[in-house]
Amino acid sequence: MMDYAELFKARVTLLVVITGAAGFYLGSLRSGISPFNMGLLNTLGGMAVVTAGSAALNEALERRSDAQMRRTARRPMASGRIGLVHGLLLGFAAVFFGSMFLAHETNLLTGTLTLITAVGYVGIYTPLKRMTTLATFIGAFPGALPPLIGWTAARGMIEWPGVALFAVLFVWQFPHFMAIAWMYREDYANAGIKMTPVVSPNGLTTVAQSLFYAVLMIPVSLWTTWLGVTGIPYAIAATILSLGYLWYTVRFARILKETDPLKSRAYARDLLKASVIYLPLLLAAMMLNAQGRIFF
């Protein structure tokens, strides 16, 4: 079972489910209905299946490069514990049936967006990683779609609040992934993956991109309040959280002068930890103060 949990990237799938749940919750309240219904379960179940399938297909495509990196060498397809054909069949079946399920149980738009997410992640982002550092930027688009998918599942249409949720996740990803890329830059270099720290090893571009998006995160996190989806209490919480995220990103800039690789890695690890704490807290604050509420 652990092999399948790793094949389907259970932690990534959980993050997708959480962000999708936030979108569905906020969209339902926008419609004036309770978000706690079968629609929520259908949406999250379908999203989880498609995400798991996409992860399996990603591992199938990257099995050789995964085998060259210490961090990923023990993945089930890279190590041969799960065969290529088996993994591909599971992946394609999960993406197809999950998307069809969402189209049937929610609406066609939601099923289509979910399929676009899978195709963008597996068919575009994954092969581009070996070609250009722009893969991170391009991959951020499918990576940011889950909360918008949750919104469309509840509302049946793309609206500005859903786009605002997309923007939050889009911008959040850059400091998060730059921290990961810096921590494992030697692994990526060995595997021929063109991450920014590999192409620009002095760290300047990595830090500049991280800081740009961390600063941008502050106004983007407040967009839902401007649109009337969240209230002032959320705006205060979002500002505090975003400033904290920015502080860890500024601290990450110390890698430019740090000569000790262990300390340099520690700065990146701290930013990574801050990013995975920041996002769920921000989404929780949105949900707690949705439509002016101060609780669920």
Q: Taking the domains of the chain in order of start, what are their residue ranges?
A: 1-158, 159-296
**How many whole angstroms separate alpha carbon 27 and alpha carbon 156?**
9
Q: What is the pLDDT of residue 248?
A: 99
- Is the CB of residue 229 less than 8 Å from the CB of residue 164? yes
In sign, the C-alpha dihedral spanning 218, 283, 46, 108 is negative
List own/partner pairs for 201-208 with CB under 8 A and 24 or more apart. 202/256, 203/255, 203/256, 204/256, 206/178, 206/181, 206/182, 206/255, 207/178, 207/252, 207/253, 207/255, 207/256
Which of the four pLDDT bands, split at 50, 70 and 90, describes residue 1?
A: confident
294: pLDDT confidence band, cut at 50, 70 and 90? low
pLDDT tens profile 57-81:
999 999 999 999 988 999 999 999 9
| Angle at CA of residue 149, ends 52 and 235, nearest 5° | 115
Backbone angles phi, psi at 290, to 5 degrees: -65, 135
pLDDT of residue 296 exceeding 60:
no
Measured distance CA(241)–CA(58) in Å, rounded: 32
In CATH terms, are 1-158 and 159-296 the same topology? no
Q: What backbone torsions phi and psi does residue 78 show, to the nearest 5 degrees? A: -65, -35
The yes-or-no verdict on residue 281 having pLDDT over 60 is yes
Q: Mean per-residue pLDDT for 13-35?
A: 96
Query: CA 282 from chain center: how many Å?
Result: 14
> How many whole angstroms separate alpha carbon 107 and alpha carbon 142?
19
Average pLDDT score over the chain: 96
Model confidence at 274, pLDDT cuts 50, 70, 90, reads: very high
CATH class of segment(s) 159-296: mainly alpha
The alpha carbon of 96 is separated from its chain's Cα centroid by a whole number of angstroms, namely 21
List the CATH code of the domain at 1-158: 1.10.357.140
Percent of the chain with pLDDT over 90: 96
Cβ neighbours of residue 164 under 8 Å, at least 6 residues apart?
220, 223, 224, 227, 229
Q: What pLDDT score was predicted for residue 291? A: 76
Residue 292 has pLDDT above 70, yes or no: no
Q: Tokens 């992946």 sit at which residue?
A: 91
Q: Is the pLDDT of residue 133 over 70?
A: yes
